[in-house]
Every structure is written in C-alpha cells, then in structure tokens.
Structure 1
Amino acid sequence: MGVLDILTFSGSTLDRAAHLRSDPDQIAHMLASGHILPLWRGKPLIVNGTDLGWLPHGHPALAHGTPPLFLGLDDGIPRFATDISDWSPEAGAEAVEAGFFDHSAQFHPGLPNTHAFLELRGVMLQLTPRAAELVATAKAVLHWHRSHRFCAVCGAQSDPINAGWQRACPKCAAQHFPRTDPVVIMLIQRGNSLLLGRSPGWPEGMFSCLAGFVEPGEAIESAVRREVMEETGIHVGDVRYVTSQPWPFPASLMMGFVGDATSDAITIDPTEIEAALWVSKEDLLDVMAGTHPTIRPARAGAIAHHLIVNWLAGRIN
C-alpha cells in the first residue's frame, strides 16, 4: 500500500544468528567479550535518556541477573540481555508506579547516575531502529521466561536452553518456546471518518484504533470483523493488510489492517471498551496536531499513530 516510514521496533534487520544458539561454547566465547543489557521488571537500562545501557559480562550490576539471553549480532557485536528483577532498589528509591505509564526511574548503586531503569514507552522514540529492535526482543523474551518458569505439561520447573530461546523440562522432557500473541489493529473507515475507541485506564481523552487478540482457529481478517462487531456493533466488509509491528508490552505482534465499515450505528460493549466514536478527517487533523479540545491521539511510535498519520496523508485507503 505504499506506507512510508519505519515503525518503532521494526525494520533494523538485526542478525539474530539463530544458528549459534545451540552452540554453548560459541555462546560462552561471545559472552566473554559481548555486551549485556539488564532489564529490571520490564524496564531497560537507559543512558542519558536516549541510549541502551550495555554492560560487560561480570559487571557488579548484573549480579542478580538470569542466564543471559543471546539477542544476536549487532554489526558483528554479540548482544545479550538479562533480567535483574530480583535486585531491590535502595530504601528511599523512587517506587514503581501503577497505571498506564510508569514515570518512575530506578538507579543502581553500581552505575553512574546517567544510567536509569526507565519505562520503555517513554524512551522508545529516542532509540535507533537497531536499539529498539534489540530491546523489544529482550523485553518480550525475558518476560516469557519470567512468566513460564514451570512446565505446562507436568508442572516441574523448567530450565532455559539454547541461549535463552527455549525451555526444557528436566522431568518430562517437554520443550517450550517463546510465544508471541497475534493482535489485529484496524483503521475502520466509512466515508470521511475513522472509527476510534478507548479502553478504561487510558490517559484522559486518548482514543485509538480498535484492536484485539486473534483467537485459535481464526483467520486474521475474520478477527478484524469479529473484534469490531464485539466492541462497537459495527459491521465490516472488505479488510486489507497494511503493516505489522512487534509490541513488547508484554509480547505481541500487532498486525495492522484497514477495513470498510458497512454500518455506522455504534453500540459499545462496556466490558470491551469505554467509548467509541466516528471522527472526521478534519477533526483528526486537529487531534494529531494536539489542538482538538477533547480527543488526544494515540501515542507516537505505536502502530495506531502510524496508521492514522498515513491514512490522513492518503497512503492508506
């Protein structure tokens, strides 16, 4: 469809070097000279608010780390990640905040004060495409390890293998692999307007594209139509794929579509969304410019923002 620009977390063509994952000697050799990114409760180490905080193997700040995950070769440089969530910040450190966005920062006593663990949503636009792909991969796979420590077959604690890209059960020999949740997100258009909705807990006034998880046994185009019908009562006819984005919150693949509505009367399901409305192209221009009196746009860097901007520019139809 001629959609321009590279989406956040996409398009850096990282060499994941998957053939090296099953070679423990080679992984150990690379780890000795490689760079490791620590994450604390899903928050990556960030330097000066703009760069990833890579540390050498054996650094004291990594003392609480899980077995390193091999991310790949970054222009030949071995990159790894580890989860140091078992580390506890010093007494009096700023606490993690609840809600849609965590504004707090955590500082490790073994690192300069230019280094902080920060909410990825807040810094993702400052990262290079390569750094964004690396941290998205790290965040998603490390979250999987933390939430899938026990075998789904027999319940025994499993062990990470293959440089962090697999877990093996020592009791029943079951093998487990990182999961990515497929999500459809859609621009639903009718005439000169787009259908937008908001979920409870979002920042006041924020509206975005409708989205939902693909169900087992379901085609992605069917998921688009079902989710829109369930959330708003709107019927959708033709559906067309546009682009995709890895979204590590915690581990989804967002698949973007444009769909043509065949009805316009909205009936929301309050268990699904809080509100939905049709927004004209003229109003959307004000929304994206930040001048609309009541509607705030989707966060920059998210696929919803990308889809809306390209629709307004005439690149999606």
Structure 2
Amino acid sequence: MRTLSTRAPESADGTTGPRAPARRRRQVREKQWPAYVFLSPWMIGAGVLTLLPMAVSLYLSFTDYNLFDAPNWVGPRNYVELLFEDPRYWRSVGTTLLYVLVAVPLKLALALGAAMLLKNLNRGRAFYRSAFYAPSLLGASMSIALVWRALFNDGGTVPNLLDAVGIDTGGWVGNPHLAVFAVVLLTVWQFGAPMVIFLAGLQQISPELYEAAGIDGAGPWRRFVSITVPMLSPVVFFNLVLEIIQSFQVFTPAYAISGGKGGPADSTMFYTLYLYERGFTASHMGYAAAMAWLLLIAIGVITLILFRTSRSWVFYAGEEAR
C-alpha cells in the first residue's frame, strides 16, 4: 500500500517547515528595501510639503483665522457664507466658468491646427515647433502679463489696430465686457504645450489609414473626422483634462491685467484672484482655505465626469468597440 509522506513541504528556496512563508516574506522585504530608500525623498516631500499642508488647510477652513491670532473654530460658517451670503464669490465662479468654456476649446483647437500644419511640414519643422512652444514658457510670467495689459489697454496696440480697420472697441482692460477676453487671448496664445502633445499623437497614426481612405474616395474633411479625430481622441482627452485643471487655477494673467483688483466691475475677478484677496488682502485665511477646498472638490468632480464620459468617445488602439 502507498503511504502518505509526512515530510513538510519544501519551499522554492529550499526551506521547509511552517516558518517557510515568513522566511520568504522576509527575503522579499530584503529585496525591496533599496526601492524604499530611493523613494523616501519623494515620500517625505509628499507628506511634509503636500499632505500635511492640506490637512492644516482643511482644519483652517473651519476656523476664523487672520494670520496673526490663533485660529478660532467656527465650524461650517465659512462654507455657509460662501455658498449663501457672498455674491462676489458667485461672480468669481461665473467669471472663471466663462473663461474655462471659452479659453480651453480655443486653445486646443489652435494647438491641433498648428500640429496638423507642422505634421505636413517638411522643412523648418523644428524651428516652428520651438517658436510655437516658446509662449508656453513665457506666458505664465508676470512680465509678459504686464506687456499684454499694455497691448490691450486704452491707447494700446490692439485697440489702435482694430480702430484702424473700423472696429472701435476702446481699451479692453477698462471695458467690463472685454477685459476677461484679454485674459482668454493670453491663454490661447500659450498653445505650444498641447500642440507638441498633439503633434506626437499625429505622428503615431499610420499613413496606411489615410491611403486606404483616399482610395475609397474620402476627402480631407472626411479623413479628419473618421480617422484623425478617433485615433487622436486619447491625446485630446489628455490635453482637455490638463487644460481644464490649469484654467480653473489661472491667477497671474488676471492679477496683472486687472491690477490685482479684479476690475472693472469684477469682470476679471477670477476664483483664485478672489481667494488671494480674501486670504492675503483681507486676512481671512480660514475663508480662503474654505474657497480652496471647494475649488479642489469642483475640479475633482469635473475630472471624474470627464473620465466617466470618456468611455463613449475616447478610442484606444487595439480596444474592442464599445
């Protein structure tokens, strides 16, 4: 008769006995510790410079804090005042939403158009790519924003050029209906970063797809709609998410063009500019912290919606049709 073996199972490294799993786990940890050593600067930085300040700001959002005295706990009063008692807060929300809805599509459309032109350019592509990308590096600076303010101010270059062709707008900076669009144009001018990403995506589309569509009689517009847009949809989605997040946080152009006041008539009172005014000008830091957390929640919700809806229009190569 066959007898069952009572010998303890042997592990992969030759160890036996009930302590073998614990010994294997210890060996795995010994192999992993160099990775934790190299990751430790980032982990410490994330904890000290990001997570800890976020926790402190969350606490301050429930307090009355003026930067000089100890925080005074007031509970949800800051949030109630923001949502139900502060009309300037909602004006800043409306101004920011208008800016996002206008600036982001224009910027992405211009970036995609420039990328398609560069894709078909045989000579000088590197030069034009660098030239178009340069505003993305310079546009966020205060000096460029001040130059932009001078261009659109009363008597500036842009109003004078428009007046020369019979369009009398006056200075955009002092016009409540046009001031926000001066900030929009400054943002659109910085289309270089998404353009480079679009260009990389366009270069990944197989030319055979366009050749097959041309043989079937598809024109340029049909090829763009049926090939370029679907194949480029992951890149469009990536740029869209980044640009929306950045647009909600716009500050420097609004501060420079409005002189830090959000004028005229709060037409350039963007969300972050109002947050800055309440926190550092009026010294209501608890109120500003509550505004910051509401902005974080809003951006998170919008990003979540974009990711959920992307399933219906973003196409990934090799993915089955949904």
- Report the TM range for the smaller structure's normalisation: under 0.3
Query: What's the TM-score, normalizing by structure 2?
Result: 0.25
Q: Rg larger in 1 or in 2?
A: 2
* Structure in which a larger fraction of residues adopt helix: 2
Query: What's the TM-score, normalizing by structure 1?
Result: 0.25
Instruction: Give the structure, 1 or 2, with the largest relative contact order (CA under 8 Å, sep 6 or more).
Output: 2
* Structure in which a larger fraction of residues adopt strand: 1
